[in-house]
Amino acid sequence: MAKEKEVEEQAIEDLPGIGAKSAEKLKEAGYDSLTSIAVAPLKELADIGGLGEATAEKIIKIARESLNMGFRTGDEVLEDIKRSQKLTTGSVELDKLIGGGIETQNMFEAFGEFGSCKSQLAMQLCVTCQLPADKGGLDGTAIYIDTEKSFRPERIKQMSEHLGLDTEKVLKNIRVARAYTTDHQILLAEKAEKLMKNKKNNIRLVVVDSLMALFRSEYSGRGTLAERQQKLNIHLRTLQRIAEVYNAAVFITNQVMARPDIFFGDPTAAVGGHILGHASKFRIYLRKGKAGKRIARLIDSPYLPEGEAVFQVSEKGIGDMEDKK
Q: What is the distance between the alpha carbons of residues 307 and 97, in angstroms, rounded to a whole number?
A: 7
In a domain, 119, yes or no: yes
In a domain, 203, yes or no: yes
Range of the domain at 22: 2-66
More confident residue, 323 or 226: 226
In a domain, 71, yes or no: no
Q: Per-residue pLDDT tens for 201-221?
A: 999 999 999 999 999 999 987
Q: What's the chain's average pLDDT?
A: 87
More confident residue, 322 or 240: 240
How many domains is the chain built from?
2
Same domain as 91, residue 53: no
Last residue of a domain, one of 37, 66, 95: 66
- Scored b (16 or more CB within 10 A) or e, 160-183 reads bbbbebebeebbebbbebebeebe
At 25, give phi and psi (nearest 5°): -65, -40
In a domain, 74, yes or no: no
Q: What is the distance between the alpha carbons of residues 209 and 179, in angstroms, rounded to a whole number?
A: 10
Same domain as 62, residue 87: no
CATH number of the domain enclosing 10: 1.10.150.20
Residue 4: pLDDT band (50, 70, 90) is: very low
Q: Per-residue pLDDT tens for 95-114?
A: 999 999 999 999 999 999 98
Q: What is the DSSP string of 71-106?
A: ---HHHHHHHHHT--EE--S-HHHHHHTTSSEETTS
User: Is residue 305 scored above 90 in pLDDT?
Assistant: yes
Same domain as 53, residue 165: no
CATH number of the domain enclosing 305: 3.40.50.300
* pTM to 2 decimal places: 0.81
Same domain as 168, residue 272: yes
Same domain as 199, residue 60: no
Give mean pLDDT, residues 52-77. 80
What's the confidence (pLDDT) of residue 8? 42
Same domain as 152, residue 42: no
Same domain as 222, residue 181: yes
Same domain as 237, residue 317: yes
Handedness of CA 307, 233, 215, 104 (dihedral sign): positive
User: Is residue 324 scored above 50 in pLDDT?
Assistant: no
In a domain, 72, yes or no: no
What's the confidence (pLDDT) of residue 322? 66
CA-wise closest residue to 250 among 149, 138, 91, 163 = 138
